[in-house]
Amino acid sequence: MSLNHITTALDAASLESKEQYVFYHKMVDFVMKETIAAVSNNHLCTEQEAQFLKQFCDILLYSIDAMRIKYMYDEEDAMKIDLTESGFPNYLEFRYLYNDLALKENYSDRLKGADSLKKSFLNRLLKEKKHINPSQLYQAASVVYYTKVQQRFIFNRFVQGKIVPSEIAQDPGMVVSWSFYDVSLNRPFICFMYFDVDAKNKEGLKEEIYEVLSNAADRKMDLDTMAYAIDKKLPKVYPYKVRRIDLGPLHNVFAKDVHEITHAVLEGLIDKTIPLEAYALSLTIDEIESEDIFQEGGFFKKQTIQRWGEVKNKKYLLAPHRVIQLLYAQVPELIDKLEQAPIHLADFPRIN
């Protein structure tokens, strides 16, 4: 077992109040949308990749919002968040969503209709002049959850993108995208593979490619290991570049890890040099390209395999202006190791 697979209570922590959850959900939604725009505007990836990134992040945010609805008025349980090197929900929360919605017919038949609930709410507020009973609020949230949230849009452990022609002029091959939620790190990753394929073998390969990606590229591993595994299992496909975007961790007031940026942000919050709403997001893009090919196998069964070059590791930091100033003062040596200067994001709206 690797160190990454050792879990602690902080991998599935509950926040202290409903108000904190409201704040958390708003922050994650805000930061992810800011990040999507920043990745495109700062040309961290191609326009085509930026579009795929947005699509996968939309599914991720849809799922996290479904969790918000699910737990909004649940007094007995709360959404579990990984506060160590993540800032995103524990993977099991996505699994629970998917399983819940697979059984939605069993629950929706037992729930009181929306119109009936609205009528009882109005009667309670206008006639009786009383607050809505918490159990009724929970029932209303359950109606929304089981009637509005769709299982097919839930971010799963592996989310497959389409195979399309590459829009890069110097790479006139094909590109396939996929995303996965690493179950040990509790963070989302978005991947792209550029490849060629013989015209005579083009038909019927789609499902084979999808199957190999879902089995060999659905978790965090060394990128050269991932590229070789895909290449080995797809003898009729010739990949020449693989890219992977690691979204996170999210450094904010809830984080409890020993990351240097988290430590600096938390110190700034304690000293009140940055506001409580301050945040920073680490983002890493790994890339590997084929440099040569070689033959592998016996006399009767040889396979052309790519010889992969060194993995290029590019680290970025995205944060509001005041947080960036703080990090320049507190951890300048870490900022110097970034691929470029920290990328400015908007301030999260102040708490009233």
Tell me the mean pLDDT in the region 77-106. Answer: 90
Return the exposure string of 306-334: e unless at least 16 CB atoms fall within 10 Å of the residue's CB, then b: bebeebeeeebbbbbeebbebbeebeeeb
3-state helix, strand, coil in the chain (%, to 5): 45, 25, 30
The CA–CA distances, whole Å, from 323 to 29, 214, 258 equal 19, 38, 18
Tell me how far the alpha carbon of residue 203 is from its chain's centroid. 32
Judge if the upstream peptide bond of residue 249 is cis by omega within 30 degrees of 0.
Answer: yes
**Run of H or E residues at 248:** strand 237-251
The answer to whether residues 220 and 308 touch, using CB atoms and an 8 Å cutoff, is no
Tell me the mean pLDDT in the region 187-216. Answer: 88
Per-residue pLDDT tens over the stretch 145-162: 877 888 889 998 999 999
Sign of the alpha-carbon torsion through 178, 24, 38, 340: negative
Q: How confident is the model at residue 76 (pLDDT cuts 50, 70, 90)?
A: confident
Which one is predicted more confidently, 294 or 31?
31
Find the range with the poorest average confidence among 196-205, 229-238, 245-254, 285-294: 196-205
Q: What is the DSSP letter of 13?
A: B
What number of residues does the chain have? 352
Instruction: Return the SS3 of 175.
Output: strand
The pLDDT assigned to 276 comes to 94
Find the range with the poorest average confidence among 71-75, 159-163, 220-224, 260-264: 71-75
The pLDDT assigned to 116 comes to 66
Q: How confident is the model at residue 1 (pLDDT cuts 50, 70, 90)?
A: very low
The pLDDT assigned to 120 comes to 66
Encoding tokens for residue 319?
A: 């944060």
Find the range with the poorest average confidence among 121-135, 166-180, 233-247: 121-135
